Amino acid sequence: MNRLAERGARCSLSSIILEHKYPVLPPEYLFILELEQDEYFPFLAADEVPLLIRQAMQKGHTAAKQWGCEKSFSGMINLLLKEGLTVRFKEVHGEIPSIRAEYDRKQHRISIYRSSVSQIRQLFQDMNLSVPDKDLYLLHLVHEWFHHLEETKVGRTDYALPRATVKQKGPFALRKPLKRLREIAAHTFTQNALNLAWSPLLLDYLLLYRGKGWSMGQIRKTFKKDKERIRSMYDVEQTDNDSDD
């Protein structure tokens, strides 16, 4: 166990530098991959994409400034209970095992799946880092807390941001909200609230590719290809840590 885990220090996730072991992709690129999976993504023009990403990130960022101050597991549980939410811990999602956690607006309930927590624990253990489980639960709770804030305080990201124009037969076009923007805002909120050096969405990709048995080299190559493709298609701002390839 590392020093932080023995002490059970809060916010130890914020001390982790993933690129010490894993290939990484900056948040803006991960978010484009996320938005590309939205069912209405095909109706967006390429020049709308970077702006939508920036607006969704801004939403998460602003919400974190106002609401993202709780950084302990017990403090977060108390906050959620005060909001009238219940939190339940289950082994694995019954239908979709890749689901890590869920917010149920109607039931006022957050569910966290232990299978996800153990996957992430293992990812860090492979870096010789032992993160307290409470921090890993907190990582999930903060994300779902944002979805609750969307419903109660800050408004749903996909409703607030520009929608995709879906052309139908006939004279009318439909404006459809892009649900994946909610995830982009939630990941940004979580990263900011917990002061992480990486987007929590990066963990999803690392776990996905590891689950397929890919080597670090294969993951690195895939990220590099993604980056090149994204740069050729969209006007993405290049950050300092983009220059290492």
Give the interface segment with Zn ion, choosing from 71-79, 168-176, 179-187, 208-216 (CB under 5 A): 179-187
Closest distance to Zn ion from the beta carbon of 144 (Å): 7
Binding of residue 201 to Zn ion (CB under 5 A): no
Closest distance to Zn ion from the beta carbon of 196 (Å): 16
Closest distance to Zn ion from the beta carbon of 101 (Å): 8
CA distances from 224 to 23, 32, 176, 217, 244 (A): 9, 14, 32, 10, 10
Which is closer to Zn ion, CB of 60 or CB of 132? Answer: 60
Give me the 115-154 binding string for Zn ion, x by CB under 5 A, dash otherwise: ----------------------------------------
Closest distance to Zn ion from the beta carbon of 36 (Å): 17
Which is closer to Zn ion, CB of 36 or CB of 242? Answer: 36
Total residues in contact with Zn ion, by rule CB under 5 A? 2
Which is closer to Zn ion, CB of 104 or CB of 242? Answer: 104
Which is closer to Zn ion, CB of 28 or CB of 158? Answer: 158
Closest distance to Zn ion from the beta carbon of 63 (Å): 13
Give the interface segment with Zn ion, choosing from 59-67, 86-94, 177-185, 233-241 (CB under 5 A): 177-185
CA distances from 20 to 145, 203, 207 (A): 29, 14, 16
Which residue in the shown chain puts its C-beta closest to Zn ion? 186
Binding of residue 186 to Zn ion (CB under 5 A): yes
Binding of residue 161 to Zn ion (CB under 5 A): no
Closest distance to Zn ion from the beta carbon of 119 (Å): 17
Q: What does the block give as tokens for 78?
A: 């108390």
Give the footprint of Zn ion on this chain (CB under 5 A): 183, 186
